């Protein structure tokens, strides 16, 4: 590090617990949650570290203005905002807090799925309107279904652990790992998941390979009608393809915490058409990118980040 007291620029809004943790770990910091990209580039030069959440894109242009930068901390799980090839070329270490919100993400996935299978949101709306329709809200038991998980890292494995408690069969596929089957999920190929899964849950990062992964072709290759859970990145799923799957009965329902465009006031015409269908459907549960966004995880993410940065300093 360039100084006895490493200095960090915090460029996004963070839970205040982070400040005490950094001070106790021997770091100096400058908290600028409202900083613009242009301002960030102009002031980053003297800092050893940068901590971001979801606002800041770290690319070659920004890094070229940061000759002393030694590490970047992402207060969250995904690293798609960071040019990892460029950080590796420059010898900049990158930390993220995937384990900090995995429990929250897993609970969100199971909660949304249970709500969909049991028609909880639909039934709640109807009862509030004076409609008492028991047969129309007959649900399905999670334990009777096979769940396929794509991506078996922090979030995928935490979700499998909770699903296993319901007695359902859980299959997991992860192209970057081997021998990862455990007491909660059986290691499987993508082809096996497509053949056997009643529920498909996505726990993968956004990359060129995963962008629009769930499209018309993917949906058509699923052997049986299935429920989709996407609490990873919205761009992984084509919403237009999802709508077509719902209309054709190939998709039984969807739990979406993320959308391919989350700026709802700036949707393209095609995105608006798809979103209008999804928001009016009783077979879809929508939440505003809050999986992992609990009061507990807000603090735990900071604990995980600071522990990693502290280990690097040591």
How far is it, in rounded angstroms, from Cα 249 to Cα 219? 11
How far is it, in rounded angstroms, from Cα 139 to Cα 51? 44
Question: Which three-class secondary structure state does DSSP give residue 42?
Answer: helix
Query: 262 catalytic, yes or no?
Result: yes
Neighbouring residues of 224: CB distance < 8 A, sequence distance ≥ 6: 197, 198
How far is it, in rounded angstroms, from Cα 18 to Cα 301? 9
Q: What are phi and psi of 39, to 5 degrees?
A: -65, -40
Helix H or strand E segment including 186: strand 186-187
Query: Each residue of 272-288: b (16+ CB within 10 Å) or e?
Result: eebbebbeebeebbbbe
Query: 289 catalytic, yes or no?
Result: yes
Identify the active-site residue in 289, 303, 307, 310: 289
Largest CA distance in the chain: 69
Identify the active-site residue in 141, 191, 262, 296: 262
Identify the active-site residue in 96, 102, 233, 252: 233
Q: How many residues does the chain have?
A: 314
Residues taking part in catalysis: 233, 262, 289
């Amino acid at each position: 590090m360039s100084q006895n007291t490493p200095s960090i620029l915090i460029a996004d809004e963070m839970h205040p617990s982070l400040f005490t943790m950094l001070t106790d770990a021997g770091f100096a910091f400058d908290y600028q949650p409202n900083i613009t990209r242009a301002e960030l580039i102009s002031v980053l030069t003297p800092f050893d570290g940068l901590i971001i959440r979801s606002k800041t894109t770290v690319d070659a242009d920004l890094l070229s203005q940061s000759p002393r930068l030694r590490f970047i901390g992402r207060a969250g799980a995904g690293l798609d905002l960071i040019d990892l090839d460029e950080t590796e070329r420059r010898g900049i270490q990158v930390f993220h807090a995937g384990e900090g919100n995995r429990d929250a993400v897993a609970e969100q996935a199971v909660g949304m799925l249970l709500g969909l299978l049991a028609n909880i949101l639909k039934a709640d709306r109807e009862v509030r309107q004076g409609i008492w329709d028991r047969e129309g809200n007959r649900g399905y038991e999670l334990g009777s279904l096979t769940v396929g998980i794509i991506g078996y890292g922090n979030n995928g494995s935490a979700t499998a652990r909770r699903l296993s408690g319901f007695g359902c069969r859980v299959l997991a596929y992860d192209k970057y790992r081997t021998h990862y089957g455990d007491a909660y999920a059986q290691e499987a190929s993508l082809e096996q998941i497509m053949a056997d899964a009643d529920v498909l849950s996505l726990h993968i990062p956004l990359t060129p390979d995963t962008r629009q992964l769930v499209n018309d072709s993917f949906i058509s290759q699923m052997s049986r009608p299935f429920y989709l859970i996407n609490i990873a990145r919205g761009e992984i799923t084509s919403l237009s393809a999802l709508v077509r799957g719902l209309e054709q009965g190939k998709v039984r329902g969807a739990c979406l915490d993320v959308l391919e465009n989350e700026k709802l006031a700036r949707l393209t015409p095609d995105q608006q058409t798809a979103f209008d269908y999804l928001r009016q459907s009783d077979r879809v549960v929508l939440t505003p990118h809050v999986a992992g966004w609990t009061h507990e995880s807000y603090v735990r993410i900071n604990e995980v980040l600071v522990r990693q940065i502290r280990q690097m300093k040591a």
